Amino acid sequence: MPTIIISQEDLAGKTIKKQLLKLFNFQKRGTFDENPIYQFKEIDLVTIKERTIFANHLDEHFKTDLYIFGSKHKSESGKPSLLTHCTGNWSTDTTFGGEPKDVAVAPAFAMKEALKEITRLKEEKGLIFDTTLEVTHHGPTNLTTPLVFVELGSNESNWQDTQGAEVVARAIMKVADAALEKKRYPTGIGFGGMHYCPNFNKLVLNTEYALSHIIPKYHLDAVDEKTIKKAIERTVEPVEFAVLDNKGMNGAQKAKITEILNRLDVPIKRVKQLLKESS
């Protein structure tokens, strides 16, 4: 039973919640954190008091097979954006929640479904929002339940945009339905590139493949074999391959990651190779 999580501290989350309640026949079925719990089919909608990135306690209260966080995305550019990603810290910096060098359980199918749906609806509605995967970042990391973030960004005006929030709400429900149907795709783990993932977006949108954790170029020097192994193990689906954004890393980084993946016996693919095979 998927569980949607919204923070009462999150303006975008509250806008997304309004759209969920407007568009789908959620009914009250109890309370949590002094906020109503709503249910539609087998999907719960829960509002929590703290910020989503610090929601480390949820497993103590809910029995579910997937958390879907509807939340804000903030960037200096303030560019209207619709995004999805899993969570984790590749370094020891825990400013934005989670544990050092730790990652959450990543459902690759959920990120693929979310990206496909936000992209489809954005184009269908003619919205000016960008749609993209993000690399793995921020907390929470220590939940035993798989989780995915679907976000509305990237400034206060966008967080109150009802059209953007509707797209996120519908994408969240698409992910929830995919979880109920137990959808799965051939899955890999991504290495390289910057925070937003144009090459990995192409792969996920135009092939049968899904990606779980993505480690960006700016963390490749610091990431170690133990953390990479954990990211593979903390993927819902079996990780069948690693995909390298070759132009999104330098030679030393490529050599290091290749050596680690060979030791872990993970086949290495290139984005262009997988796109060509799927064309």
Q: What CATH number does the domain containing 233 carry?
A: 3.40.50.10700
Nearest residue to 154 (alpha-carbon basis) of 95, 76, 70: 76
Last residue of a domain, one of 153, 180, 207: 180
Last residue of a domain, one of 159, 180, 201: 180
Per-residue H/E/C for 141-166 = CCCCCCEEEEEEEECHHHHCCHHHHH
Do 20 and 104 sit in the same domain of this protein?
yes
Structural domain containing residue 211: 187-278
Do 12 and 61 sit in the same domain of this protein?
yes
Residue 76, pLDDT score: 77
Type and span of the H or E element at 110: helix 108-125
What secondary structure letter does DSSP report for 221? T
State which amino acid sits at residue 127: L
Do 146 and 39 sit in the same domain of this protein?
yes
Give the mean pLDDT of 166-195: 97
Do 114 and 210 sit in the same domain of this protein?
no
Does the structure show a pLDDT above 80 at 30? Answer: yes
Does the structure show a pLDDT above 80 at 128? Answer: yes
Do 250 and 220 sit in the same domain of this protein?
yes
Do 196 and 176 sit in the same domain of this protein?
no
Do 25 and 139 sit in the same domain of this protein?
yes
pLDDT band at 242 (very low <50, low <70, confident <90, very high): very high
Does the structure show a pLDDT above 80 at 43? Answer: yes
Last residue of a domain, one of 180, 215, 232: 180
pLDDT band at 180 (very low <50, low <70, confident <90, very high): very high
CATH of the domain at 176: 3.40.630.50
Give the mean pLDDT of 132-146: 97
Do 174 and 198 sit in the same domain of this protein?
no
Residue 145, pLDDT score: 98
Number of domains in the chain: 2
Q: Is the pTM of this model over 0.95?
A: yes
Q: How far is CA 160 from each of CA 25, 69, 85, 97, rounded to the nearest angstrom? A: 22, 17, 21, 25
Helix (H, G, I), strand (E, B) or coil at 24: coil
Give the mean pLDDT of 129-156: 97
Residue 75, pLDDT score: 84
Do 203 and 221 sit in the same domain of this protein?
yes
How many CA atoms, within 13 angstroms, populate the side-chain half-sphere of residue 30? 8
Lowest-pLDDT range of 66-70, 76-80, 109-113: 76-80
Type and span of the H or E element at 71: strand 66-74
Do 57 and 118 sit in the same domain of this protein?
yes
Residue 4, pLDDT score: 98
Question: What whole-number percentage of the chain has pLDDT above 90?
Answer: 94
Residue 74, pLDDT score: 87
Helix (H, G, I), strand (E, B) or coil at 23: helix
The mean pLDDT of the chain is 96
